[in-house]
Each structure stands twice: as structure tokens, then as C-alpha cells.
Structure 1
Amino acid sequence: MAAVAVFGKRGYEGASTRDIARTAGVNAPAIHYYFDGKEGVYLQCIELLIKLLWQKVGAAVQAAENAAADEHSNDGLLIEAALGILAAVLSTAQDTPQIKAWRAFFDRHQAGSCPQSATAAFEQRFKARIEAVMRLLIGRLSGLDPQDDRAVIHAMALLTQGLAFRAHKAGLLAAMNWTEVNHPQMEQVKDVVLTQARFTLEGLALQRATTFH
């Protein structure tokens, strides 16, 4: 989508409907007619980004929701479900043609260079579901209410480990002296991050067993 490239290069404030129309090879009035202006175009980009991300993490999130809803799921299954989500989130940092096409747009969006309506759409249609199931898993493992402040913080801390490698990818490349993150590099990152996360999750389960039994 031409608008993705324009927003990625110029940012939301710097982009204009004229820029988008010229890049897309259409008349500027068509942008207003079909999308009701620049914000409407950006929101359509967000919808496409959400669709792309769900293709990458949707199966892991659904599996985690099933595990969290099943009262017979033991600690091992709950831990694997949480790690599955984290692994899927981490995979969005890997360099693929599809992700590369969206990188600049995604980076600017994460930095807050977008309208509030787009931030709200992304939160509600993507992040909220992932955060909710992670809190449920933390609650089951720790014995805390999923809405307890500690459960919320634990869930955010775990997810942030995955998101950090997406948001601070330049730092990762510099620290590791990599030029890009292909499959072998991504597997190395996953191995370390998931090992740390496993220690945390197993620790919560052990603490629950010690506290409540």
C-alpha cells in the first residue's frame, strides 16, 4: 500500500494526502472520497497492520486462551502457552519481506507518531486481547487475581521483553554486530528470552505452591 511507504518515510504529520495520492498514482480527491482524508487512510493502514500481526501471533494467542480456559491445564501447559505468545511476539522482529515493507511505518507508530484514533484501534483490536490472556495465565500460575496489580505488572514485564526487540531493533543489531535479524539470529534471541521468561513463570508457580499449600 502506497500510504504505508509515505507514512513510514514522512511520519503522520509530515505526510499529506497529495503525497499519498501521487505515490499511489491516483487523484488527491479520491483519497478524501474513499478514506475521508489522511486520518482515514492511516486507520486503514492500521487495520492492515493488525491483520498482518494476527497472522503471526493469532494461533499462539488462541492456544493460550484455550489453555487458560481449561481448568485441567497444569502448570507446564500454562507456562508453554505463555512462552508461545512471547515467541510469536518476538518473531515480529525477524526480517522478512512482509515485515520489512512495514518497518518504518510500525516504528513510527510505536513511537507515537500517529493520531489518537489509530492508537486506540491498535490497543483495542490487537494488544488488549494478548494482554488479557497473559494476565489470565499469570493468574493461574501465581494464584493472583488476573486483575491484581502484580499480575498486570508481571504480564506487562513478560510481553515487554518481546516488544523491546521490535522497538529497539537498531540497538540489538549494533550490540550483536548484525546487519539484520534472519532466522538463525531470531532463534538465538528467542532461546535467551524464553529461557529467562521460563524461569520467571516457574518461579511464580513455585511461589504459589509454597504460599497456598
Structure 2
Amino acid sequence: MRIISAAIRLFGDLGFDGASTRDIAASAGVNAPALQYYFDNKEGVYAACLRHIIDRVWTEIEAPVRAAERALEAERCEDETLVEAYLAIQDRTVEFMFQSREADEWRLFMAREQAGLGPGTGFNILNERANRCIVHAKSSIVGRLLGLEHDNEETLLRTMALGGSAHVFHVMRLAAFKTLGWEDVNGERLDKIRRVVRLQTTQLLHAMIAERDERLGAKQRGAKKVVTPVSSVATAPSTSSVGSAPSTPSMASNPSATPTPTPSVRKRVSNMGEARASKRRQRTEDAA
């Protein structure tokens, strides 16, 4: 354990390339051959440090993570239950980051590791042991609230952005405290950080729910819109029922049909013919 503590401190201060196995052994009060006996080489020491940190973090937040997994596995789970499950994981993480002396000692080590400044084996260990449970639980909650899969790119981006609000006070402590005029974090200040982080996270999670419901509502409204196609209406001959008057075909429906004059029309035509004949007789008499 002395070797692990010394290595975490030196890797954090000097980086993986800057810290030597000789420096680590001297800081831990052991000889270099003993360090090589237990860890083989510097990369083995680094991997042991990362496993130790992950195991300690998991011990602290396993309970809320398991509770979130049970909520996700339930046949029916309310959105608010998932919101509270996410907040429980975040609350416990914030408390551990600021109340644990160990977490404070790991801060620089983890900042370098998360920035990609450690060996490749370190990232693989972190990805396997942390992402498998912790990140999976968080992204599953975010995905459910968004109406997306847990491994969807949008889901993962939202999950990572959501977690940054708490880590900024830990990883960027000097800059954050300088801005706030703080020298350290006491109980009152920790409550302020926890309250602000929880408030912002709650608002963002509720915004995800509203976004999902709006998207689903728009989809349902679109499905209800029925488009009626314009169809041509064919003129069919009508069939007269018993006792009804027979229908008369129109010129529009049968252009070749000749209309039958009514009696009044025939009378007017006859009168007009007689008048014309009378005028011709008159002109003939005048000419004679």
C-alpha cells in the first residue's frame, strides 16, 4: 500500500514519463528490486494504482449504481424514479470527491489519466472496470429519458456533459476556488456545490424528458393526419326504384342525345313561322 500511495502521488506530480521506478521505490521506502518483484515494471505499478482507485470508488458508489440498475430493469419505471436514481449516483460521487482524503490525493493522477497522458493499459483498465457499470448505468438512464438507446452517440454526449458539472470543481479546483475566492471546501461550501450541481442536473434531466415527449407527440400527431386522395367521379346510369320518376339524361352526360322540345316551345316556334309567312305574303301583294 505504501508503494501504491507513493506512485499515485508521483505519477500525479510528474506524469507517467517523469516518474521513475527508482523515485517511487525511494518515496515508498523500499528498494527498487522489491518494486520490480511485485509489479514487474513501471507500467505494472501504474496499472495497480488505477485498479486501486477504481476499486475504492466502486466501494463508495456501488449502492446507488445497483439501485439505478434495478430501476432500469423494472417493467414499468416512472421518469422521476430514474431522475432520482441518477441524482443519487451524482450526490454520492460529489461527497466522495470532496470528503475523502484519498480522492484529493488522486486528483492530479486522475486528471492526467482522463486527459490521455497515461499508458494505453491505463485507459483499457478504466474503460473496462468503470464504464462497464458506472457509465453504463448513467447512460442507460439518460437514454431512457431521451427515448434513445444507451449507446446512441447523442445519449453518450449528453451523459458526459452532464457529469462535467461536478468534476469541474474537483479537477479544476485551483481555477474554480480562485474565481470563488475560496481556499478550501468546508461543510457549508460543499452543501452549496452539491445544491447547485443537483439543481442544474435536475433541470437538464427534466428538459430531456420534455424533449422526448415533444418528439413523440409530434410523431403521433403526424400519424393521425389522414390524406384523402382526389379521385375522379364516374357518371353511372341511375336505376329507378319502384314508383319513382325515371331520370332524364343530360347533354353533359350524353352529348349525342337530342333534347325533346316542350309544348310551349313548339307553340312559340309555330307562331314565329306564321308571322314570317304573313310578312312574305304582304311583300308579294305590295310588289304586284
Q: TM-score, normalised by structure 1?
A: 0.90
Count of aligned pairs between the two proteins: 213
Question: What's the CA shift string for 1:136-185, capped at 9, x where partnerless?
Answer: 11222222222332222221221222222222121211111111123321
Aligned partners of 2:79 and 2:6: how far apart in 1? 46
Query: RCO greater where, 1 or 2, for CA within 8 Å and sep 6 or more?
Result: 1
From 74, 79, 88, give the equivalent of 1:75. 79
Q: How does 1:35-184 map to 2 (within 5 A)?
A: 35-184=39-188
What's the C-alpha RMSD, in Å, of the aligned pairs?
1.9
Percent same amino acid at aligned positions?
34
Aligned partners of 2:193 and 2:31: how far apart in 1? 45
Aligned partners of 2:7 and 2:148: how far apart in 1? 44
Preserved CA contact (<8 Å) 1:2 1:20: yes
Shift of the 56–181 alpha-carbon distance from structure 1 to 2, 3 Å rule, reads farther
The match for 1:34 is 38
Offset, 1:88: 2.6
Structure 2: unaligned runs, 5 residues or longer: 218-288
Specify the code of the residue in structure 1 equivalent to 2:11: F
Deviates more, 1:35-44 or 1:201-210: 201-210
Extract structure 1 runs of 4+ deviating beyond 6 A: none
Deviates more, 1:47-56 or 1:143-152: 143-152
Aligned partners of 1:160 and 1:113: how far apart in 2? 19
- Report SS of the residue matched to 1:29: helix
Offset, 1:92: 4.1
Aligned partners of 2:26 and 2:51: how far apart in 1? 22
Shift of the 103–138 alpha-carbon distance from structure 1 to 2, 3 Å rule, reads closer
Aligned partners of 1:101 and 1:139: how far apart in 2? 33
Preserved CA contact (<8 Å) 1:134 1:155: yes
Q: How does 1:185-204 map to 2 (within 5 A)?
A: 185-204=189-208
Offset, 1:87: 2.0
| Structure number with bigger Rg | 2
Structure 1: unaligned runs, 5 residues or longer: none
